[in-house]
Amino acid sequence: MKYLTFVLILPVALLVTSCNKSNGDENKDLAGEVAGTYKGTLTDNGLKDAIDATADIIKIDEKTVEIHCYSSVLDTTFVMELFENGDSTMLCNIGDDFKNMYGHERMKDHHMMGDPNWQNWTHHMDEEHDQGDEHYGGFNKVDHSFTYKFVMDTALTLQFNGKRQ
């Protein structure tokens, strides 16, 4: 009888355990992977020389970071959401910054509906953006670098390029 009970309970336990396992994407700590200090330069076509700059990437939660970029010509702090894209981690605005940049609201809480791929870049682009929407930076996981283009006005952009320290 004990053997029969064991034989019947084991498959049910394995089924329940396997159904509760996820693919791991929704638990991935993208912010933890990129948090740190990046030393680099700011460049622009109008600048004679590159300017030394630093970007401190601070983890807010697993999918969100605060970016503080500073140099002798720039000191700014902003918050971005992270999206996985192969060997890169891409950035996108959130909240009012998203609406101001793209002219429409994001789908509210689409990631809360149980979609395990909500932090995938292609999924984000399909769900949240119109063709031609521009994004300004991201992280390269292979060489541990960070790039971001600051659009100051229509005539001036500054490009940060840095390596994680």
- pTM here is 0.74
Separation of CA 116 from chain center: 15
Q: Does the CA dihedral 60-33-73-135 come out positive or negative? A: negative
Confidence of residue 155 (pLDDT cuts 50, 70, 90): confident
Averaged confidence pLDDT in the chain: 79
Mean pLDDT of 79-94: 90
Task: Tell me how far apart the alpha carbons of residues 33 and 111 are, in angstroms, rounded to a whole number.
Answer: 20
Confidence of residue 22 (pLDDT cuts 50, 70, 90): very low
- Give pLDDT, residue 11: 54
